[in-house]
Amino acid sequence: MIDQGTTHVDGQTVRPARDWRESYATRLMVTDALVLIWVVFGVQIAWFGFTTADVQFRGSMEEAAVSYTVISVVIVAAWMIILQVFGTRGYRVLGTGTQEYKLIADSSVRLFGLIAIIAFLFQIDFARGYILIAFPLGLLVLLFSRWIWRQWLSVQRLRGKYVSRVLLVGSSESATHIARELARQPAAGYLVVGACVPNGRVADSLPGLPNIPVFGNLDRLQAALVASDADTVVITSSDELPANRVKEISWSLEPGRQHLVVAPGLTDIGGPRIHTRPVAGLPLIHVETPRYEGRKLFAKRAFDVVASGLLILLLSPFLALIAMTVRLSSQGPVLFRQQRVGINGKHFNMLKFRSMVTNAEDLLEQIQAQQRDRGNSVMFKMENDPRVTPIGRFLRRYSLDELPQLFNVFGGSMSLVGPRPPLEREVEQYESHVHRRFLVKPGITGLWQVSGRSNLSWEDTVRLDLYYVENWSITGDIVILWRTARAVLARDGAY
């Protein structure tokens, strides 16, 4: 983080906000330029060699010709500009979520479309292979480089660097709630360094959070900003703050250096469902209700059919090898069929490679008491389950026992991504709101599996599953599948 020296205000030392936003954006810009130069000129050399090729114009410009080297320079420059225009390096989209990747893809596709339109209107004879290779490859390498940077940024943020230092303002209850929610995702880059609450006293701390000091009541906001070196004020509730007071807080912040964030009383609502509409000076927040129909549902089903079909085809030799190993390693069938509860509460038979002894269900009651002290009281997960066979333990470790569920996906009873399909005995313990899990098809993998897998408590499992149900999208599914592959390779929390 950049140290820009110190100044003094009212006899107190003030360290200016570290300029990590500009520094990080500059690094991204340099990397983007190197990626695009490497890809575009690399494709040019691969397609034309080191000889100079010209783009021919037809019509009134049939005598004109422009070197492909010039065209490559123009494409790189235009690509860099459109990435900047679409805000792909803005600090608000960096570090977490899919918005950064969406903006990169959207801007690149629009540039590709713009070039296609210009080529058509001016009758420019581009080499089709040059364009059709450069853009997809450039997009993929851009996304990969941004992913690499995101991993680096996540590590830095875990160390307390490259973060927004947050001062919470609001009621004690709401400030505590927001502090805990922000702590769940340190990669988002919000480090809570203090709070100002009504009736707060200096040297207090938020309830249950001794590491977050209270700097007094709301009248001590400016002193709290100085003492905590915060650069972001988050208003967690406005009941104690009249409208004029919120304006005064906004006016008191230093433009460009300090930021104001208002946290509405909404949790687990994804960005695409939230829209802000100013009406008569009021920033009204519109929250769309989740929809499970129409083109989104068709796109999800089409994605499931194509992806599961290709995976079944590609993995068929591997599936046959696993089936043979299971059959020869222990007595019993190759596949384990178990009735689960799916979409709209309908029952279906979920497939797995058998990883347990054949009388596993009969032994369940004898060992279930060992689960009582674990956090997940509804879903039975046991780290050293004695019913698991030696080969089954290996299959479970790498989640290979789940592969037959690709046939469930292809048949339509499951999806690649969704809430985990529960047993009927688990559903009997559900609270009423948990039944919202059945609004979408269950999945082979899901948000809670890539956020801790078997190590999560039941409350966190429900929270993540319901978040997925409320906010699912094809882009989100692709991200979860990518994170699943990483979690499986890391063998994180699977048993």
C-alpha separations of 22 from 256, 257, 357 in Å: 11, 11, 58
pLDDT value for 363: 56
> Which residues are within 8 A (CB) of 18 and not within 5 positions of it... i.e. 6 or more apart?
1, 2, 3, 4
pLDDT value for 3: 39
373 by DSSP, 3-state: which?
coil
pLDDT value for 471: 81
Asked if residues 395 and 352 have their Cβ atoms less than 8 Å apart, the reply is: no
Which is higher by pLDDT, 60 or 357? 357
- The residue ranges of every structural domain in the chain are 20-158, 163-265, 294-490
pLDDT value for 60: 47
Which is higher by pLDDT, 96 or 112? 112
Q: How many CA atoms lie within 13 A of 91 on its CB side?
A: 15
Architecture of the CATH domain 163-265: 3-Layer(aba) Sandwich (3.40)
Rounded average pLDDT over 85-99: 83
Rounded average pLDDT over 65-87: 85
Nearest Cα residue to 230 out of 246, 210, 252: 252
pLDDT value for 131: 81
8 pLDDT exceeds 90?
Answer: no
* CA gap 125, 132 in Å, rounded: 14
pLDDT value for 444: 93
pLDDT value for 12: 42
Which is higher by pLDDT, 253 or 10? 253
Mean pLDDT over each residue of the chain, to the nearest integer: 80
437 pLDDT exceeds 50?
Answer: yes
pLDDT value for 183: 85
What would the pLDDT profile of 169-185 be if each residue is shown by its tens digit?
888 888 888 888 888 88
Rounded average pLDDT over 268-289: 65
% residues pLDDT > 70 (the chain) = 78
Find the range with the poorest average confidence among 119-133, 148-162, 258-272, 428-442.
258-272
pLDDT value for 46: 81
What would the pLDDT profile of 313-355 be if each residue is shown by its tens digit?
999 999 999 999 988 888 888 898 989 999 989 999 999 998 8
Which is higher by pLDDT, 361 or 445? 445
Task: Provide the pLDDT confidence category of residue 384 given band limits of 50, 70 and 90.
Answer: low
Which is higher by pLDDT, 370 or 162? 162
Tokens 């993540």 correspond to 464
236 by Cβ neighbours in 10 Å (0-12 / 13-18 / 19+) ranks as buried
54 pLDDT exceeds 70?
Answer: no
**Range ranked top by mean pLDDT from 56-60, 111-115, 201-205, 270-274:** 111-115
Which is higher by pLDDT, 196 or 62? 196
Find the range with the poorest average confidence among 187-196, 217-226, 265-274, 301-310.
265-274
pLDDT value for 177: 87
% residues pLDDT > 90 (the chain) = 25
Rounded average pLDDT over 388-406: 87
433 pLDDT exceeds 90?
Answer: no
* CA gap 342, 85 in Å, rounded: 44
Position 315, amino acid: L
